[in-house]
Amino acid sequence: MKLAVVASQDEGVLEAVVEASKLGIIEPIFIGDGEKAKEISRKLNLSIEDFQIIDEKNLERAAEIGVKLARDKKANFIMKGLIDTSTLLKAVLNKEWGLRTNSQLSYVMVYEVSTYPRLIYLTDGGMNLSPDVDQKTKIIENSIIVAKALGNNRVKVACLAAKVKVDLKMAATVDALELKERYGRGFFEAGAVVDGPMALGLAIC
């Protein structure tokens, strides 16, 4: 799959993308300060000469190029490099040429912890600051799509809260119960289990 890397002039990003390419996972398209990216790659003894490099030092313009590549199906997905999330999201949400859809926009973080036997998926870490229960339903649906796309046939969703019992003064617990009940009524696709309210420690046990 083709990966559009926006503002690729970053050590960690270049190392990860080159490694992913070696593993046959992606074919990168580097967008950003081309000379800086090449300088970093030489320092790290990485080879990026065979990859497509679009030289664009302006971050807003680099974000626009990456988003348009995805919109035009010339890239399958976008990776954030040395650019603020807000700058990239502004391009993603552009009404004229962005990737805006009728769905709730959210993102999923995937953690690999050496002492834990499975990957941990966390959503939504800050894009939706105060979602209502309907928005949370859509956020869960998005996370299920991501988890299944990464090979998980059975997805367990824990609606996190500071308490494991419903407290009418704590909206997170009330919403968690409603989301659990929606699961019971068949709101979410087959293969997913939604439960809550639940503390993080209990969720990962």
- The answer to the question of residue 100 being in a domain is no
- The answer to the question of residue 88 being in a domain is yes
Measured in degrees and rounded to the nearest 5, phi and psi for residue 90 equal -60, -40
pLDDT tens digits, one per residue of 40-52: 999 999 999 999 9
> Are 115 and 194 in a shared domain?
yes
Q: Could you give the C-alpha distances from 27 to 4, 70, 102, 144, 179, in angstroms and in order?
A: 9, 14, 29, 25, 38
- The pLDDT of residue 101 is above 90: no
Predicted local distance difference test score (pLDDT) of residue 103:
82
> Are 56 and 141 in a shared domain?
no
What's the pTM value of the predicted model, to 2 decimals?
A: 0.77
> Are 46 and 127 in a shared domain?
no
- The answer to the question of residue 188 being in a domain is yes
> Are 68 and 132 in a shared domain?
no
- The answer to the question of residue 179 being in a domain is yes
> Are 68 and 140 in a shared domain?
no
